[in-house]
């Protein structure tokens, strides 16, 4: 294993541990803010009401959701701690979801894959950053059907910065990718609403495709949407059969966008080959 791949793997495991915090806490923070805003707007807050507990990505420290025991540093090592504890809280022995080590492992493996593809280069650094955002957005949307502006909006601007000097495309192409990505889903959603009278997708999907367009460019948007639709159809059918629940589209866009980012040149080659064979 190359040293850069090993380093990216270890870094990914550590980042994955933090992403678990983001995936769990950010939706709760959003709901707390909405509740507080609603109470203030409706005049339901009294002067003598107790102040809500401070809750953000750093406060309070991680603790067991069942007994409240704090998570000590040695219990917070990626994957290893979960294995040592045998997937249970050290104090009350309540099972700890296997998803925590799986998110850490997934992040490590995807970071390593980016490093294997691009080696020691600025693209690897940016690629790992893009990967971290994609993983957080994928799991948050799958759990809650939220695509937080706190993640999608910075991701758009980071895409512009990536392509300013370092990336695969010009800044102009990145801006066009963001604009067309947003507007295409916005138009599609509003057309569906006029036809059926209900929203076809949330505004977070528009911003996510804008972010993916900012990173990968206008020329890849059609491929990304097609790939996302294929993933969504298969996953949606499986989920409906298993749980009779709707399927969030955000994870499909995120997965397709990440694949196109990592294999950017090969995707472009494939698209150009297909266009040539099709006579375009």
Sequence spans of domains, the chain? 1-113, 121-280
Query: Which SS3 state, helix, strand or coil, does residue 169 take?
Result: coil
Residue 228 has pLDDT above 70, yes or no: yes
Unique residue bearing structure tokens 């893009």: 130
- In Å, how far are 90, 124, 169, 257 from 224, measured between CA atoms? 44, 21, 16, 6
- The pLDDT score that the predictor gives to residue 139 is 95
Residue 199 has pLDDT above 90, yes or no: no
214 in Cβ contact with 177 (< 8 Å): yes
**236-262 pLDDT, tens digit each:** 666 654 555 566 888 999 999 999 999
Position with higher pLDDT, 168 vs 46 = 168
Residue 280 has pLDDT above 70, yes or no: no
Distance CA 237, CA 240 (A): 5
- The pLDDT score that the predictor gives to residue 276 is 55
232 in Cβ contact with 246 (< 8 Å): no
Unique residue bearing structure tokens 């799958």: 142
pTM tops 0.75: yes
Alpha helices in 74-220 (DSSP H): 80-84, 99-118, 122-144, 149-165, 171-196, 203-216
- The pLDDT score that the predictor gives to residue 150 is 95
256 in Cβ contact with 231 (< 8 Å): yes
- The pLDDT score that the predictor gives to residue 268 is 64
**Confidence class for position 195, pLDDT limits 50, 70, 90:** confident
Residue 178 has pLDDT above 80, yes or no: yes
How confident is the prediction for the chain on average, in pLDDT?
86
**Confidence class for position 269, pLDDT limits 50, 70, 90:** low
């Amino acid at each position: 294993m190359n040293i850069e791949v090993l380093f990216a793997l270890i870094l990914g495991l550590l980042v994955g541990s933090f992403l678990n915090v983001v995936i769990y806490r950010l939706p709760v923070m959003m709901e707390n803010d909405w509740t507080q805003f609603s109470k203030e707007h409706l005049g339901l807050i009294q002067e003598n009401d107790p102040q809500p507990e401070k809750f953000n990505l750093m406060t309070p420290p991680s603790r067991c959701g069942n007994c409240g025991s704090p998570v000590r540093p040695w219990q917070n090592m990626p994957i290893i701690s979960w294995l040592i504890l045998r997937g249970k809280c050290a104090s009350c022995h309540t099972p700890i979801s296997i998803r925590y080590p799986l998110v850490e492992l997934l992040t490590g493996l995807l970071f390593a894959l980016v490093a294997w593809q691009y080696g020691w280069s600025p693209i690897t650094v940016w690629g790992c950053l893009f990967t971290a955002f994609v993983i957080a957005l994928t799991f948050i949307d799958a759990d809650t059907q939220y695509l937080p502006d706190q993640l999608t909006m910075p991701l758009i601007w980071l895409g512009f910065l990536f392509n300013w000097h370092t990336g695969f495309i010009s800044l102009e192409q990145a801006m066009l990718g963001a604009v067309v990505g947003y507007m295409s889903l916005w138009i599609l959603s509003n057309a569906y609403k006029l036809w059926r009278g209900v929203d076809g997708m949330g505004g977070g999907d528009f911003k996510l495709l804008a972010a993916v367009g900012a990173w990968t460019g206008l020329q890849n948007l059609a491929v990304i949407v097609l790939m996302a639709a294929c993933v969504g159809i298969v996953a949606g059918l499986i989920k409906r059969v298993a749980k009779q629940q709707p399927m969030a589209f955000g994870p499909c866009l995120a997965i397709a966008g990440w694949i196109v980012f990592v294999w950017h040149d090969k995707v472009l080659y494939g698209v150009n080959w297909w266009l040539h064979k099709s006579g375009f």
